[in-house]
Chain A
Amino acid sequence: MSSRSGLPAQAAVHAFSAFGIVAQTAATFAGLLLITFLIGRVLPIDPVLAAVGERASADVYEKVRVELGLNLPLHVQFWNYAVKVLHGDLGRSVLTANPVLTDIRRVFPATLELATLGTLIGVLLGVPIGVVAAARRGGFIDRVARVFALFGYSVPIFWLGLMGLLLFYARLGWVLGPGRIDVAYDEVVAPLTGALLVDSALRGEWEVFRNALGHIVLPAAVLGWLSLAYISRMTRSFLLAELGEEYVTTARVKGLSEWRVIVRHALRNALVPLVTVIALSYATLLEGSVLTETVFAWPGLGMYITNSLLSADMNAVLGGTLVVGCVFIGLNLLSDLVYRLVDPRVR
């Protein structure tokens, strides 16, 4: 009896919960749009001048002001923009003359590729380093890991990038230079996803793949170091907290080996908060690391948004912001899903 009446009730709760998530997401987007829009309007940069240049006559200036809709009241400008966005039209960028969506389709895969590889490096190296540092707390490895992480945190990424180029590209010749691909391989692979590594692999163009990999290794390693520094320290901290718990003592008393205690018991529980840390770190890299992109001449989302912002190209800024917002919300949802996998209590 109870199970029969419980099923519809449970479905209703799920539906209500899903509706809540959708409503919350929509409200976040609306707020994001409004705030970015307002920030764009209070910037001390005239978007018309940014578009027409300093030599434009008064007639040209006025014509472009009307074309951009800047003669309308602020709330009307926002409403017009929001309606367009709801119809899937992010407008046209003044700077690139392209639809913003086209621009984002071009620059976002470059950032996605770089950030994903950077995060992979950060996770694959950072988690083990954090585990070893926690297991050997106060020991030599812990101290080295601390210095390594401190370096990653505190050294300006701009400098790190330049030094990396100087050593690994200019002196040792281990990696290829700035940019995503050599001129000789440019446009060899027709874009599928926009991510060169993925596209070249899917098309079986292994020469292009190797070349693209040679270009991405260094910027990804630089970003990876930043990510690694954060992830390794947080792993260590979460793991140390778990190692002080009673269930760990119980496991030890039961005679389990120390590594089994750490990896099978403590780390598993430390993974729960660590998922959030990794997701946040990934999201930060996906926003685009402007300085890394500048040093490595990497045409990504960070440079796109920054250039647009400095030119008051608001369609591009708002479009980019929406993408970043999507990334954060998407990663939040993803980390929720991963929670369910690693934490039985949430299932």
Chain B
Amino acid sequence: MRRFFIALLVCAAGARAETPKDTVVMAKPIDDMISLDPAESFEFSGSELVDNLYDRLIGYDVKDVEKLFGELAESWSVAADGKTYTFKIRPSVRFHSGNPVTAEDAAFSFRRAVVLNKTPAFILTQFGFTEGNVAQRIRAPDPRTLVIETEKAVAPSFFYYALTAVVGSVVDSKLVKEHAKGDDFGNAWLKTNEAGSGPFKLRSWRANESYTLDSNAEWYRGAPKIKRLVARHVVEPATQRLLLEKGDVDYARSLTKDQLDAISRNKDLAIDQGNKGSILYVGLNQRNPILAKPEVREALKWLVDYDAIEKNILAGRFVKHQTFLPRGFLGAIDEMPYKLDVKKAKALLAKAGYPDGFSLTVDVESASPFTDVAQALQASWALGGVKASLIASDGKQLLTKYRARNHEAVIYRWGPDYQDPHTNAEAFAMNYDNRDDAKSKTVAWRNSWDIPDFTRRAGEAALEQDTKKRAAIYEQLQREHLKVAPFVILFQEIEVAARRKNVDGFIIGPNFGTNFYYAIAKK
């Protein structure tokens, strides 16, 4: 028996193999990925992968997001009416199939996204495109010219940033049409295949297991520095750390604070960081008559020890932030008036008629670090007499409850859909219809916050053509929002990737669709 076991171990030890020199291996969870079709993909992992397979018309500099640059579009302009946009397509760019990239491909991509009407379609349809008008409003008069007409004159930056989203990816129309079945625009095929022109080609995707990419030597910006990238589905952070330390993976993408502390002391490893647009907040349902009182809402904001939570639970993963626009967005302000002030909170609670506090339930996803943050909040709210009962549940279960407005308070994370302030302004400061069967279920709606004035002003901000005036509107909105909104906005996320020191160049952008592999190099 002993011999048998030792023989197994020895046999295994002899089979050791390091990661190949031209291949980079990442360990990360990829079980949220349900489709690779840019017209459908809207999950974190899916967005990241699609962004590395496809090009869009325009992109932005992740270090300075106000700087737009052309990807497949060589130049672009907007007419005096503020509604007609013209893009000139870069010549000589080819898809992975070898087909040339034309304006018709771009037009086809946007039209199919609108007609398919999958989850991310709203990013385009918010500009007035419908199944009925999209063929006329998005057209390619010649192979290098794309003309798009929006319904209203919106802020040009709003439109451009929307096109940088994953849904703005340009697909190879010829290839997709070959695989179309019925009226599905090739959706069934594109769920598990790709038809892009981006820096990497899809070699394989095994759901919940791995995806493998080969570099595109013909990419218009030059071939990536590595030949292959493999992302392995590894959920457990402790396992990720072991794999990284042993050199079996080059990147570990979801380590916890303690593991990052240990990694930072390892001379063979390094940590890359990038600000993400995601915000961690507490939503307070206004159906609850206690939470509907302005003094109570404000008191709960004064009953949070933001600094202690950041230092002890979230260091390296989140930073303190209290307004609805994350750092890096047009109009973002860095104002953080709230800190732990029990005396002030108690005075506000007394004014609201609750000098001894009250009880409420707090829903939270049963995952790190959310439950740790919930416990910290529970402790600090108790200082003001607020007795919070925590309800931890699976993420999908929590979402079901939250979208049905059946919560009292909820700890949740919101990530912007694209790089324009309207995405978060709409979520947190707009509620078009507060009825249960409303079509638009913004974050404000989910918390039953009926705000016609905020909704009107935030809507007007999206139409403002002057960028400075637009930024000023958002700044003012946030200051008012900070005081009255039923949201205790807590932190902004930082994405962290631990890596081996012989590998570098992974670009962590502010959005989950702007994490790029093309600059990764391995020594």
Pair from one complex: yes
Instruction: Name A residues whose Cβ lies closer than 8 Å to a Cβ of B.
Output: 43-46, 49-60, 63, 93-98, 103, 106-107, 124-125, 128, 162, 165-166, 168-170, 173-179, 182-187, 207, 210-211, 213-215, 217, 221, 294-297, 299, 303-304, 307, 310-312
Q: Summarize B's interface: helix, strand, loop or mixed.
A: mixed
- Is the Cβ of B400 less than 8 Å from the Cβ of A178? no
Interface size class of B (residues with CB under 8 A): 35 or more
B10-62 with Cβ < 8 A to chain A? 10-20, 23, 25, 27, 31, 34-35, 42-43
- Is the Cβ of A179 less than 8 Å from the Cβ of B232? yes
- Is the Cβ of B207 less than 8 Å from the Cβ of A58? no
Let me know if B334 is at the binding interface, CB within 8 A: no
A60→B115 CA distance, assembly (Å): 11
- Is the Cβ of B12 less than 8 Å from the Cβ of A184? no
Binding-face segment, B96-104, B240-248, B268-276: B240-248
Q: Summarize A's interface: helix, strand, loop or mixed.
A: helix
Give the contacting residue for B233; candidates A43, A56, A221, A299; CB below 8 A.
Answer: A299
- Is the Cβ of B12 less than 8 Å from the Cβ of A174? yes
Contacts of A207 in B (CB 8 A): 15
- Is the Cβ of B248 less than 8 Å from the Cβ of A210? no
Mask, B394-436, CB within 8 Å of A = 1, is 1111011111000000000000010000000000000000000
Contact A97 B207, CB 8 Å, known A210-B15, A211-B15, A213-B12:
yes
A93→B207 CA distance, assembly (Å): 11
Which residue of the partner chain B has the closest CB to A96? Answer: B207
In whole Å, how far is B347's beta carbon from the nearest beta carbon of chain A? 37
- Is the Cβ of A178 less than 8 Å from the Cβ of B191? no
Mask, B122-157, CB within 8 Å of A = 1, is 100000000000000000000000000000000000
- Is the Cβ of A213 less than 8 Å from the Cβ of B15? yes
Q: A168-B9, A178-B234 are in contact. List 8 more A-B contacts (CB 8 A).
A: A57-B121, A60-B118, A128-B1, A169-B242, A176-B248, A186-B210, A186-B230, A210-B12
- Is the Cβ of B8 less than 8 Å from the Cβ of A213? yes
A26→B309 CA distance, assembly (Å): 56
Let me know if B119 is at the binding interface, CB within 8 A: yes
A169→B8 CA distance, assembly (Å): 14
In whole Å, how far is B239's beta carbon from the nearest beta carbon of chain A? 5
Instruction: Name B residues whose Cβ lies closer than 8 Å to a Cβ of A.
Output: 1, 4-5, 8-20, 23, 25, 27, 31, 34-35, 42-43, 117-122, 191-192, 204, 206-210, 212, 230, 232-236, 238-239, 242-243, 245-246, 248, 393-397, 399-403, 417, 437-441
A303→B1 CA distance, assembly (Å): 31
Of the A-B pairs whose beta carbons lie under 8 Å apart in the complex, a sample of 19, sorted by A's number, is: A43-B397, A44-B401, A49-B403, A55-B42, A59-B439, A60-B118, A94-B34, A97-B192, A107-B208, A178-B243, A182-B19, A186-B212, A187-B212, A210-B12, A211-B17, A214-B11, A214-B16, A295-B236, A303-B208
In whole Å, how far is B189's beta carbon from the nearest beta carbon of chain A? 10
- Is the Cβ of A53 less than 8 Å from the Cβ of B42? yes
Which residue of the partner chain A has the closest CB to B439? Answer: A58
A53→B11 CA distance, assembly (Å): 46
Contacts of A107 in B (CB 8 A): 208
Which residue of the partner chain B has the closest CB to A208? Answer: B15
Query: Closest 7 A-B residue pairs measured CB to CB?
Result: A214-B12, A96-B207, A210-B15, A97-B191, A58-B439, A299-B209, A46-B400
Contacts of A303 in B (CB 8 A): 208
Which residue of the partner chain B has the closest CB to A95? Answer: B34
- Is the Cβ of A297 less than 8 Å from the Cβ of B394? no
In whole Å, how far is A305's beta carbon from the nearest beta carbon of chain B? 11
A321→B379 CA distance, assembly (Å): 42
- Is the Cβ of B242 less than 8 Å from the Cβ of A60? no
A280→B19 CA distance, assembly (Å): 39
Contacts of B399 in A (CB 8 A): 46, 49-50, 54
Contact A183 B20, CB 8 Å, known A210-B11, A299-B208:
yes
Contact A52 B119, CB 8 Å, known A166-B242, A217-B12, A299-B233:
yes
Most A CB within 10 A of own CB, among B12, B23, B236: B12
Contacts of A49 in B (CB 8 A): 396, 399-400, 403
- Is the Cβ of A165 less than 8 Å from the Cβ of B242? yes
Which residue of the partner chain B has the closest CB to A128? Answer: B1
Contacts of A96 in B (CB 8 A): 34, 207-208
Contacts of B239 in A (CB 8 A): 162, 165, 178, 295-297
In whole Å, how far is B5's beta carbon from the nearest beta carbon of chain A? 8
- Is the Cβ of A124 less than 8 Å from the Cβ of B16? no
Contact A311 B396, CB 8 Å, known A44-B401, A211-B15, A296-B239:
yes
A211→B440 CA distance, assembly (Å): 52
- Is the Cβ of A304 less than 8 Å from the Cβ of B208? yes
Which residue of the partner chain B has the closest CB to A92? Answer: B188
- Is the Cβ of B122 less than 8 Å from the Cβ of A45? no
Give the contacting residue for B207; candidates A95, A168, A221; CB below 8 A.
Answer: A95
